[in-house]
């Protein structure tokens, strides 16, 4: 037993040292890319696994359609990035193969299909690895249901918390298992800043800081305290502390939920509650997700790779609404606001008019995208 303890203590030293270095790098800050001034923007598209390549292909087609002139003028390039498949990742034993990572880093923004993560084993999620490698610290997930008065935006911390050491826990087989959760000052400061800046720039007056600081005293306690420090710089905005459990209930509390506007929260709570929120909007297939850092940004569908749909031969009936929503967020991020608005409007019409059931009783993925593009031409 002692040998396990010695090993764990030794690896804990390494973990703390590495995390401290990461916090110091964040504190030093990074250069922020300004898309409104760039001469050329490279959009990388990677399909991923399962239904990923099917829905992403439609996302790419819609982007090509909306950005046609700028692509022809060489101001925007859409580049296919191969290699982010479970087969290749398993073959090289890496969450993101080296050459794929290099190709991703040569892009400015990325549209990404869902990737499969095996349960257990040592292969890390490609998603989590990409967020870390490109330092995509803000996971921004909007959810709107106008008829219910719901207009939410979630700022989920995307680079630390329960995820950063997710595959580096400690285990004494047959006895115990421990994972780690890490909250850094600089990491919290930048997500809090992003949330409050969004609130300020979009006329929002309320930010909910969602934690479980009564139990996770060190990590969530720090998260909440730093969010309040940042909040103090934004006089017109009320910062409210909420616990994740009651917030989960409040999202389905009709008397309360329409009062929430902006949420800022640690990684795992954000992961869970944004699925709930997306379900209220009509399902995880309807939500888009932006993973934003100072230099790169990646936009993806909020749902998984749905391997069962492929097994059952129903892949072509996958709903591309989520990846198209993500494409609209990508357009907004690179300051193509008009194109983003067109896509959002057409998407809202398509969501209402096109029946998509995930099987041959409804429209195909391609038909849905065709309808979206057709609607754009009529706007
Ligand atoms: C999400 C997903 C990912 C996460 C998975 C695929 C690693 O659930 O983007 O919400 O847990 O963050
Ligand atoms: Mg999730």
How far does the centroid of ligand 2 lie from the alpha carbon of residue 233, in Å?
31
Rounded Cα gap, residues 226 and 87, in angstroms: 42
The full 3-state SS of 160-221, as one line of letters, equals: CECCCCCCCCEEECCCEEECCCECCHHHHHHHHHHHHHHHHHCCCCEEEEEECCCCCCCHHH
Nearest ligand to the CA of 161 is 1
Closest CA to ligand 1's atom 11: 271
Rounded Cα gap, residues 268 and 92, in angstroms: 28
Q: Which mutation among 139, 271, 274, 305 tests ligand 1's pocket best, with the greatest number of atoms within 8 A of CB?
A: 271
Alpha-helix runs per DSSP H in 264-379 = 267-281, 307-311, 321-333, 337-353, 365-378
Rounded Cα gap, residues 104 and 81, in angstroms: 7
Domain residue limits, the chain: 32-136+293-379
**CB neighbour list of residue 378: distance below 8 Å, 6 or more residues apart:** none
How far does the centroid of ligand 2 lie from the alpha carbon of residue 117, in Å?
12
Q: Which residues pair with 41 in a beta bridge?
A: 76
**Mean pLDDT per 10-residue run, the chain (379 residues)?**
90 96 92 90 97 97 98 97 93 95 97 89 86 96 94 97 91 94 98 97 97 98 98 98 98 97 98 95 85 96 91 96 95 95 96 94 97 97
Closest CA to ligand 1's atom 10: 271
Other residues' Cβ atoms within 10 Å of the Cβ of residue 119: 4
Q: Is the CB of 128 under 6 A from ligand 1?
A: yes
Rounded Cα gap, residues 292 and 299, in angstroms: 8
Under DSSP, the state recorded for 81 is -
| Cβ atoms of 344 and 332 closer than 8 Å | no
CA 261 to centroid of chain Cα atoms = 18
Rounded Cα gap, residues 121 and 164, in angstroms: 17
How far does the centroid of ligand 1 lie from the alpha carbon of residue 54, in Å?
19
> What's the pLDDT score for residue 120?
74
> What's the pLDDT score for residue 95?
93
How far does the centroid of ligand 2 lie from the alpha carbon of residue 271, in Å?
4
- Looking at the CA of residue 300, tell me the nearest atom of ligand 1: 9
Burial 336-356 (b: 16+ CB within 10 A, else e): beebbebbbebbbbbbeebeb
> What's the pLDDT score for residue 115?
95
Closest CA to ligand 1's atom 8: 271
Judge residue 146's burial from the number of C-beta atoms within 10 Å of its C-beta, 0-12 exposed, 13-18 middle, 19 or more buried: exposed
Closest CA to ligand 1's atom 9: 302
Q: Is the CB of 60 under 6 A from ligand 1?
A: no
Nearest ligand to the CA of 118 is 1
Q: Which mutation among 125, 140, 143 tests ligand 1's pocket best, with the greatest number of atoms within 8 A of CB?
A: 125
> What's the pLDDT score for residue 217?
97
Closest CA to ligand 1's atom 5: 127
Pairing of strands 109-112, 297-301: parallel
- Looking at the CA of residue 271, tell me the nearest atom of ligand 1: 10
How far does the centroid of ligand 1 lie from the alpha carbon of residue 375, in Å?
31
Q: Determine the longest span between alpha carbons in the chain, in angstroms.
A: 71
Q: Is the CB of 125 under 6 A from ligand 1?
A: yes
Nearest ligand to the CA of 163 is 1
Domain covering 32-136+293-379 assigned CATH 3.40.718.10 in the classification: yes
Question: What is the token pair recorded at 200?
Answer: 């300020």
Q: Is the CB of 127 under 6 A from ligand 1?
A: yes
> What's the pLDDT score for residue 167?
81
Q: Is the CB of 157 under 6 A from ligand 1?
A: no
How far does the centroid of ligand 1 lie from the alpha carbon of residue 168, in Å?
18
- Looking at the CA of residue 139, tell me the nearest atom of ligand 1: 9
How far does the centroid of ligand 1 lie from the alpha carbon of residue 5, in Å?
31
Taking alpha carbons only, the member of 303, 269, 300, 310 closest to residue 283 is: 303
Q: Is the CB of 271 under 6 A from ligand 1?
A: yes
The torsion defined by the Cα of 132, 241, 332 and 288, in degrees rounded to 10, comes to 70
State whether the Cα torsion 239-243-245-249 is positive or negative. negative
**3-state SS class at 357:** coil
Taking alpha carbons only, the member of 138, 256, 241, 284 closest to residue 198 is: 138
pTM: 0.90
């Amino acid at each position: 037993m002692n040998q396990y303890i010695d090993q764990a203590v030794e690896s804990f030293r390494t973990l703390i040292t590495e995390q401290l270095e990461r916090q110091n790098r964040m504190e030093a800050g990074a250069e922020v890319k300004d898309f409104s001034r760039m001469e050329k923007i490279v959009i990388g598209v990677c399909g991923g696994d399962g239904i990923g390549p099917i829905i992403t292909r439609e996302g790419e087609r819609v982007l090509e359609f909306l950005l046609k002139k700028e692509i022809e003028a060489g101001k925007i390039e859409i580049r296919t990035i191969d290699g982010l498949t479970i087969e290749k990742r398993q073959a090289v034993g890496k969450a993101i193969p080296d050459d794929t990572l290099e190709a991703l880093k040569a892009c400015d923004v990325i549209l990404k299909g869902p990737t499969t993560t095996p349960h257990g084993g040592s292969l890390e999620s490609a998603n989590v690895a990409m967020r870390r490698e490109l330092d995509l610290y803000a996971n921004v997930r909007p959810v709107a249901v106008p008829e219910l008065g719901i207009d939410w935006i979630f700022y989920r911390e995307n680079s630390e918390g329960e995820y950063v050491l997710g595959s580096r826990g400690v285990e004494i087989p047959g006895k115990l298992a421990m994972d780690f959760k890490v909250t850094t000052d600089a990491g919290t400061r930048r997500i809090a800043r992003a949330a409050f800046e969004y609130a300020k720039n979009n006329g929002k007056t309320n930010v909910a800081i969602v934690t479980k600081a009564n139990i996770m005293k060190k990590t969530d306690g720090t998260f909440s305290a730093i969010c309040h420090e940042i909040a103090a710089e934004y006089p017109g905005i009320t910062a409210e502390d909420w616990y994740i459990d009651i917030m989960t209930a409040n999202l389905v509390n009709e008397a309360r939920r329409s009062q929430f506007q902006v949420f800022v929260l640690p990684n795992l709570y954000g992961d869970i509650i944004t699925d709930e929120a997306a379900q209220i909007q009509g399902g995880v297939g309807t939500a888009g997700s932006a993973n934003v850092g100072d230099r790169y940004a990646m936009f993806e569908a909020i749902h998984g790779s749905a391997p069962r749909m492929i097994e059952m031969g129903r892949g072509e009936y996958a709903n591309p609404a989520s990846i198209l929503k993500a494409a609209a967020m990508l357009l907004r991020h690179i300051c193509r606001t008009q194109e983003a608005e067109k896509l959002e409007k057409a998407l809202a019409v398509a969501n209402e008019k096109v029946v998509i059931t995930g099987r041959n009783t409804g429209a195909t993925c391609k038909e849905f995208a065709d309808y979206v593009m057709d609607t754009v031409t009529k706007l």
